[in-house]
Chains A and B, each alone.
Chain A
């Protein structure tokens, strides 16, 4: 065995005493094997990798167990020995490529640093080798990119540079910690395909740490599923995915959005309330006509949105899909009236909202009708206000509620969104991701909006929480009769809630139509690219029912 971990336990000293992040896990990794460690946030998967690289934060330490790499005891190895192991034997790719690169050094120089640190290059040939490393990760025009700073490169390019850095010294083991989180789905596919290819070519072993079971199943030979610092299941990727043994694994597999799922089927089988009746009408609620937004850029005007038109009917859910920079966020900002369009009409029940400047819309009677659920729940809650205050804010400012009436309405909203009332006095940092998402949704629906824009509301959430939040949104829609504009990069998620899907690229709509049609028979090449880039987990036979549903829908 190349790497063997035996009964590894990692503890952190905190204000509340010692916290066990990893509780006695055992893993083995053979040469040339790819192992996926899958788990949700807080499961201890990253801590495991930090522990075996011995780069735990202050306060963290390995409390028990053994880590052996090719006969070397990593737990007892000296810092000097570890320095030669890190990078040359074992290297790591981190989650945020921009944070992993030094922002003020040219990327070529950063690769040279690593090469020379491990005596893989001399002053004379370092540049040549760095360029070769860039070429290996398929960067176009590596001679020119050698002189680029990280901020000049896209997220996918930065991750390629990080991979080049990690592979520069031909390590034998690569640990990738959420390497594609935050990247666009097509970029994710490109980066994952590339790293898989390089790993195979060089006969390296690798560990892929991810929250995305589908991604892990597609790229790994073996999976280890972690929960609360323990490994609950290990096995060959197909077997774990197709026939999960542990309850938790089954829940994860079910919660992973996939082409054949319905929103209810993401929930654990024993916790699926009956689906609520929901009937969109044919009456248009919001009509967007030739909407444009042009920003003044340094190098000429930037056309963020280039004249888009679509209609959202009352009670209908429309998905707006596209990758970063396609103009979907600009569109949602204009619709929610935080940003003035350059041109075009936003007809809401026949009134042209584009005529009212965003500055004045705050006091407009329709303000409460159009609301937004933010992408990042953490960022959207004021750190100095507790959950109750956050929900109460629109009620206080726009509905004029005070005292008992206000408190009752806040409690009602908390109940509606499934937020326990005793959490209302907590500050955002004391809430979990799912709870923060609920607070954000409660605030958005506080004024009974008719049109709700969901800006990637589940992008920052674990899949099991995402499943719960998507179901909550589906129930709220049925109960309150709201129309949704669901903005997302993930077609598989959008499809769960939406009847209609609009695909945007470079500020223009490239395809629009019923969700089932866009998903199964995409007309535009870009839509096809988006669909094929989604992680394709192995076929599974947990349920046949949803499959039949899709077929009948066609």
Chain B
């Protein structure tokens, strides 16, 4: 450990020192970042480290309860549940990160435009977002995937579309309150065009609350993707994915083989939990005002 004491002040501009400060300051943030690192590690290296091929079937060892050789037991086809749960991390994280990135970008652009220029553009965009939000979001996502075709890309698009209004509204509000602020006017006096004022002066100030939204959204996006797979849309078996695994395992819970559904469900829950906890920590890192 370093010798710095817990109340030492990070040096000016030291992002790394600030990161360490934020993590030390709040144990919950530390826990969530630890879990996040674990999930990222699983996604990057999981496929190379797992003890068994997640697709290899072996009917001789079907439905074995957790034991030393199969930590999470085996499923009805004798596949190792632990290997499948770890390998599935990559797919689930990719879907949610891609979907969130897409909705972040589109939502930010639309929200910033609506918030900065206002007028009829604002009114039209707002009504569009209202329309999207008026649908039950999961049903809308189901509809989009069913209409566009049953592929992973379409799950990403569907998840992105249902999340865009949340980003757009947040950015719109944050931009709107800063549109007439002194620093925005000062930026215009410094020769910035409206676009530059918006993109380089006002928008960055909306990032801290956006980070909370991103983090919460990553959790929802994972649930959404898993939910779609659960009802048979999107990812197809035998591909390992938490939603499908829970769906398949659900059939065996009644017969007492609880582990087939429990472990992927547990991982799903942990992932959502991680992202929900991470939000506040991310905001603290992004907000320079916390760097006192």
Interface residues of A (CB under 8 A from B): 15-17, 336, 338, 359, 362-363, 367-368, 371-372, 374-376, 379-384, 386, 390, 393-394, 397-398, 425-427, 429-430, 440, 443-444
Contacts and interface: CB of A to CB of B under 8 A. Distances in A.
Contact of B12 (A336, A368, A383, A426): A426
A381 B183 contact: yes
Contact of B193 (A16, A336, A362, A440): A362
Given A15-B7, A15-B292, A426-B12, A382 B205 contact: yes
B236 interface: no
Contacts of B188: 338, 362
A393 B187 contact: yes
Interface in B172-199: 181-183, 185-194, 196
B187 to A, nearest CB: 7
A398 B186 CA distance: 13
Nearest to A370: B189
Given A17-B7, A363-B191, A382 B185 contact: no
B288 interface: yes
B7 A374 contact: no
Contacts of B12: 425-426
Interface in B248-292: 288-289, 291-292
Nearest to A337: B189
A382 B7 contact: no
Contact of A425 (B13, B289, B292): B13
A429 B289 contact: yes
A372 B191 CA distance: 13
Given A16-B7, A374-B185, A380-B185, A393 B288 contact: no
A234 B291 CA distance: 39
B292 A430 contact: yes
B204 interface: yes
A440 B182 CA distance: 10
8 contacts: A15-B9, A15-B25, A338-B185, A362-B193, A383-B288, A383-B289, A429-B289, A443-B190
B292 A429 contact: yes
4 closest cross-chain pairs (CB), A and B = A380-B182, A394-B190, A379-B182, A397-B191
A390 B288 CA distance: 15
A383 B205 contact: yes
A388 to B, nearest CB: 11
Contacts, number: 82
Given A17-B7, A382-B205, A384-B205, A397 B190 contact: yes
A295 to B, nearest CB: 14
A225 B7 CA distance: 33
Nearest to B8: A16
Contacts of B191: 362-363, 367-368, 394, 397-398
A109 B207 CA distance: 40
A363 B181 CA distance: 21
A375 B181 CA distance: 11
Contacts of B289: 383, 427, 429
Contacts of A398: 190-191
A15 B6 CA distance: 9
Contact of B189 (A372, A379, A382, A383): A372
Given A362-B191, A362-B192, A362-B193, A374 B186 contact: yes
B291 to A, nearest CB: 7
A79 to B, nearest CB: 30
B201 interface: yes
Given A362-B193, A383-B289, 20 more contacts: A17-B7, A338-B185, A338-B189, A359-B194, A362-B191, A368-B191, A371-B189, A372-B189, A374-B185, A379-B181, A379-B183, A381-B182, A382-B187, A382-B205, A386-B13, A390-B186, A393-B187, A394-B191, A397-B196, A443-B186
Given A394-B190, A397-B192, A376 B182 contact: yes
Contacts of A362: 188, 191-193
A347 to B, nearest CB: 20
A338 B194 CA distance: 12
A137 B201 CA distance: 45
A394 B189 contact: yes
Residue of A371, A386, A393 ringed by the most chain B CB atoms within 10 A: A393
Contacts of A425: 12-13
Nearest to A376: B182
Contacts of A371: 189
Contacts of B182: 374-376, 379-381
Residue of B181, B182, B190, B289 ringed by the most chain A CB atoms within 10 A: B190
